[in-house]
Amino acid sequence: MTPQRRVILEELQRLRTHPTADEMYMIVRRRLPNVSLATVYRNLEVLADNGLIQRLEICPHQRRYDARLEKHYHIRCVSCGRVDDVPVRDFPIIEKIPKRLGGYQVSGYQFVFIGICQNCRKRMKNKK
């Protein structure tokens, strides 16, 4: 665990959002002013590959990261891209579908709700 990796992990664990690497870079720079964007990208991938954080590939052309490792679900705003946790623990029927269809043993899955967040709905309403 390098000093940079530790700071990245600590900062991600403090967040309730699901930042992109660029957003993490801006956050980490407050503590490590000389850190490079490439270092943040590389270390987020190392942390994800080692199972210390989750890599969320739920937004087109954009990875997000989550320090929360227990099974949970997400919702993504199709207007602004915001990603939040959904306070639902299990969808057991989903885990049974691949096994019945093709004999798969499920090792994990990502289930993402999509919608429009409260802030975007307010902005849309105010434009009318």
pLDDT number for residue 9: 96
Q: What average pLDDT values come out for the chain (128 residues) when binned by 10 residues?
A: 92 92 95 95 95 85 87 86 80 69 69 87 85
CA atoms within 13 A of residue 89's CA, in its CB half-sphere: 0
* C-alpha dihedral, 19 to 25 to 30 to 36, nearest 10°: 170
pLDDT number for residue 82: 86
- Please state whether the predicted TM-score (pTM) of the whole model is above 0.85: no
